[in-house]
Amino acid sequence: MLNYLICKDELEILKYIYFKKLIVMKRLFAIAIVLISYSLSASGQVKSLEPIPLDDAWKQKIYGLAPDAATAPVSKKHKVLLFSLFTGFDHWVIPHADAVINILSEKTGAYEILKSVDISMFEKKTLKQFDAIVLNNNCSKGDHRDLFYDALGTITEMSEEEKIKKAAELESNLLSFVKKGGGLAILHGGIVMQNNSAEFSEMLGGSFDYHPPQQKIELKLAEQDHPMTKAFEGKSFTHIDEPYFFKNAYSKKNFRPLLYMEISEIQKMKHETDEKISYVSWIKKYGKGRIFYVSPSHNAQSYEDSRILKYYLNGMQYVLGDLKCDDTPLIQ
């Protein structure tokens, strides 16, 4: 009986020691997680932001932050095509960006929009009704990098040759629309739409190359007093985003830079470069038309800042011709 009691006591002691060690291990693990998170945050690397719901509360928040009036006088009743079709990567921010463009329209009266995911909107006759187009994260598939071709792929009545020809025609219509005086605003992944097209790259000022993981990025102003960047009130803009890098026509710098990031501050670069900075937003002319490219942002959380909303409005008014500003290229 005595031996039994001793064994029982030893068992209780062993259980006590085990659970004590377990508690200590859990605490050490929690501390390690905190230290790792702090280390990543300090180095600029952060976990990708989680999608947030596009509900009435979020829309009301954005409406309250949006400018009360247009930056420049509105010259006419502008009509804008908001095109949000994608065939490749699905950016969760697409509906949020749609909402932002719509809210800026409703609150300021700077333009009115027609939203569509139909490529038939790029027929010549249809495009004539619009003053500008917004390309909202229109990522194409990786094999062709041609959204028009991708969209035509489901039409079984068309031959491969007919699809290629029609896709080229629709792209040509878009290029011609801008060249003749139309405006074009490109949001984030919209630059990927026709990523293998040399002329599309020339029109936009570059093609998408790659991006390192999401991280905290400080965007700095290329010109503090430029009418476009006055939205930031002379201060840099820090947010969590994908740091986009560009290729092809980008090397020519045939655009007026507006926002840039210091390359030395970017983590996990894929390629080494001799350049010190990389531009992520700019304006430029293409024929008689105007281009506004803005990489920010992959995340809807970035829109929860009145400055970026004001910047978007400025970009819309620039491509519509109402906001007059210097768009002389960086390299001539």
| Matching residue, tokens 């995340």 | 299
- Whether 68 and 7 map to the same domain: the answer is no
DSSP letters of 4-16? HHHHHHHHHHHHH
Q: Are residues 20 and 115 in the same domain?
A: no
DSSP state of 34: H
Q: Is residue 49 part of a domain?
A: no
State pTM to two decimals.
0.86
Tens digits of per-residue pLDDT, 255-266?
999 999 999 998
Q: 32 and 139 in one domain?
A: no
CATH of the domain at 139: 3.40.50.880
22, 131: one domain:
no
Does one domain contain both 28 and 61?
no
For residues 182 and 17, the answer to whether their CB atoms sit within 8 Å is no
Is 229 found in the same domain as 90?
yes
What's the first-to-final CA gap in the chain, in angstroms? 98
Structure tokens, 15: 């259980």
Query: For 45, which DSSP code?
Result: B
Task: Note down the domain range covering 8.
Answer: 1-42
Q: What is the pLDDT of residue 34?
A: 37
Tens-digit pLDDT profile for residues 53-70: 999 999 999 999 999 999
**Residue-level pLDDT at 15:** 54
